[in-house]
A and B are shown apart, each in its own frame.
Chain A
């Protein structure tokens, strides 16, 4: 069964450093997403991406965050200057349809900012 692949599985970084989280969505999917889950809290939406541009973003997704699809397969989330409160599990997802298609999630990247 097709999978969404995320790397790395764990990332520890110092406050103020830049991090890039990587994702390879399912190849025939058109819509890509980043979600995050702070320990003990709900999974929450960050951003959706379609046709090489952001289609929706949450209030969490401020100027410190950016997304990119640098080639035909990768989808990345960059945090420019990490804060302690950015520590969370970050999930990438993809779907074939914006609303009707179910989402397939990756296994996540656990980001720890120290």
Chain B
């Protein structure tokens, strides 16, 4: 059964720092991996989608990498800002069940 884990569970950094959020999954048979942002009590905003054949995707200050064989993905945020404070969720499209499986998320706080 596919399990998705995110480390760390929470992270607090001063404004301007570069940071890395980690996501790991137990079964490498995935179609793609998607990173989402969730503000408190709000919906899920898609940040980046990486297909299984791709190694990375970039959008502005965000860069996501995917190493399917080792079951890992990272989300790199450059020059963090207080507005980046949110929960970041990783989700994999599982090849066995054709379902989007979510991780537990990383709660990020960027201090001004």
Do the two chains bind?
A: yes
B59 at the interface (CB under 8 A from A): no
Look across to chain B and name the residue whose beta carbon is closest to the beta carbon of A55: B98
14-43 of chain A: CB within 8 A of chain B: 33, 35, 42-43
The CA of A102 and the CA of B93, in the complex, are separated in Å by 9
Residues of chain B with a CB closer than 8 A to A35's CB:
100
Give the A interface residue count (CB, 8 A): 23
Task: State how many angstroms separate the Cβ of B8 from the closest Cβ of chain A.
Answer: 16
Chain B neighbourhood of A45, CB < 8 A: 99-101
Residue of A42, A91, A99, A108 near B104 (CB, 8 A) is: A42
Chain B, interface size category, equals 20 to 34
- Encode contact with A along B91-103: 1 for CB under 8 Å, 0 otherwise: 1010101111111
In the complex, whether A104 has a CB less than 8 A from a CB of chain B is yes
Complex alpha-carbon distance, A89 and B49, angstroms:
23
Whether B89 is near chain A, meaning CB under 8 Å from some CB there, is: yes
Could you tell me if A102 and B99 are in contact, using CB atoms closer than 8 angstroms?
no
Q: How far is it, in angstroms, between the C-alpha of A108 and the C-alpha of B103 when the chains are bound?
A: 18
CB distance from A10 to the nearest CB of B (A): 10
By a CB distance below 8 angstroms, the chain B residues around A108 are 42-44
Contact call A99/B98, Cβ cutoff below 8 A:
yes
B112 proximal to A (CB < 8 A): no
Q: Do B46 and A105 touch across chains, with their CB atoms under 8 A apart? A: yes
Q: Which one of B32, B51, B89, B98 lies within 8 Å of A43 (CB-CB)?
A: B89
Interface string of A78-114 (1 = CB under 8 A from B): 0000000000010101000011101111111010000
Query: How far, in angstroms, from A48 to B103 measured CA to CA in the complex?
Result: 19
Known: A56-B99, A102-B34. 7 other contacts (CB 8 A): A42-B104, A43-B89, A43-B91, A44-B102, A48-B99, A98-B98, A110-B41
Interface positions of A (Cβ within 8 A of B): 6, 33, 35, 42-45, 48, 56, 89, 91, 93, 98-100, 102-108, 110
